[in-house]
Amino acid sequence: MSEPYKLVDMAETGAAAVRTAFANQVAYCRANDAPVTARIVAALGTLLDKPATEFARRIADWQGPPLADALPLRAAGGLHALHLSGKSPALAPIYADADDINDATIVAGVVAGHEAALLPWLDGPPQTNEAGRSSNFIAAMLWLTEQGLPPHFDCLEIGSSAGINLMIDRYHYDLGGVQVGPEPGVMAFTPEWRGNHPPQHRIDFTGLKGCDVGPVDLTDPAQALRLKAYIWPEHTVRFERMEAAIAAATVKKPDIVRANAADFVEAALKKPQAKGTTRVLMHSIVWQYVPEDQQIRVTTAMEEAGAEATPDRPLAWIALEANRTVHQHELVVRYWPGGEASRMLGRAHAHGAWVEWMGS
pLDDT of residue 9: 63
Contact (Cβ atoms closer than 8 angstroms) between residue 329 and residue 321: yes
Q: How many CB atoms lie within 10 A of CB 328?
A: 13
C-beta separation of 147 from 311 below 8 A: no
Q: Which pairing describes strands 188-189 and 178-180: parallel, antiparallel, or unpaired? A: unpaired
How high is the pLDDT of residue 3?
46
pLDDT value at residue 324: 65
Separation between Cα atoms, residue 334 and residue 95, nearest integer Å: 41
pLDDT of residue 311: 98
Helix and strand numbers (H, E) in the chain are 12, 12
Strand (E) positions, 182-277? 188-189, 192-194, 204-212, 255-258
Q: How many CB atoms lie within 10 A of CB 27?
A: 18
At residue 106, the pLDDT reads 97
Q: Using an 8 Å Cβ cutoff, are 314 and 150 in contact?
A: yes
Q: What is the pLDDT of residue 328?
A: 84
Q: Which pLDDT tens digits describe the chain residue by residue (360 residues)?
A: 344 445 556 678 899 999 999 999 999 888 878 899 999 999 999 999 899 999 999 999 999 999 888 899 999 999 999 999 999 999 999 999 999 999 999 999 999 999 999 999 999 888 777 889 999 999 999 999 999 999 999 999 999 999 999 999 999 999 999 999 999 999 999 999 999 999 999 999 999 999 999 899 999 998 888 888 988 888 888 888 899 999 999 999 999 999 999 999 999 999 999 999 999 999 999 998 899 999 999 999 999 999 999 999 999 999 999 886 666 899 999 999 999 999 999 999 888 889 999 997
What is the pTM for the complete model shown?
0.82
Q: What are phi and psi of 348, to 5 degrees?
A: -150, 155
Query: What pLDDT does 5 receive?
Result: 47
pLDDT at 2: 41
Kindly tell me the burial class for residue 38, based on how many C-beta atoms sit within 10 Å of its own C-beta (0-12, 13-18, 19 or more): buried
Q: How far apart are CA 94 and CA 74, in angstroms?
A: 18
First vs last C-alpha separation in the chain: 34
